[in-house]
Amino acid sequence: MASAGAAAKAAAKAAEWKPTEKIENYKISGRTGIDLYRSIGENGPKVSLGRTIAYTTFDLKWSRKYVPEGTTCRLASARPHLIIIYKLPKPSTPLPPETQRLWNIFIAGITAHERVHGEMILDLVKKIEATSIGLTMADDPGCQKIRQELTTRLAALSEEQRRKSREFDKVEMSDGGNVHRLILGLVNGG
């Protein structure tokens, strides 16, 4: 199991890396707020049961160093390589001034919402890092049991992150929630 010293080392290591952020736009069209919103419904990213306005995902890879120590195995280092990807709508042509004003408010709010999801992903990676570095497994000279233990721990952390993300969306997208208000502002003109 990880010691307090290992946790401190993990925190120090976390300060050495930074995630990469990437924005991927999908094209929408329209001259009014309602037209833009309809286009989002037709062209937005497909997520689970349907299309959504925006979506945050990530690409995460790890560089890990497992060190056999007699019959024990220790995970000596785990360095993440994280790309947080925001998928956001973007009008394909210039908008009329009033529609542009409404769009600017809408997309700023949607982007802020998605960045919260990005922070949740970053928090997940930091928790994975803290759980991983210094993890030891007895009777594992080939460093196989430790990988299974790590997979079990990471699955629980990942499920926690997904739960928090769903709860955040439920509040934000409910009647009167932030995203709901942003949509109404765009389609109703203010």
Whole-prediction pTM: 0.86
92 vs 94: CA distance, rounded Å: 7
Q: Under 8 Å CB-to-CB from 188, ≥6 apart: which residues?
A: 33
Check if the beta carbon of residue 62 is closer than 8 Å to that of residue 16.
Answer: no
83 residue type, one letter: I
- Predicted confidence at residue 2, as pLDDT, reads 44
3-state DSSP call for residue 135?
A: coil
- Predicted confidence at residue 24, as pLDDT, reads 96
- Which parts of the chain register pLDDT below 70? 1-15, 190
Strands 136-137 and 72-91, how do they pair?
A: antiparallel
161 vs 147: CA distance, rounded Å: 21
- Predicted confidence at residue 12, as pLDDT, reads 53
Strands 72-91 and 20-28, how do they pair?
A: parallel
- Predicted confidence at residue 136, as pLDDT, reads 94
Predicted confidence (pLDDT) per residue in 153-175, tens digit:
999 999 999 999 999 999 999 99
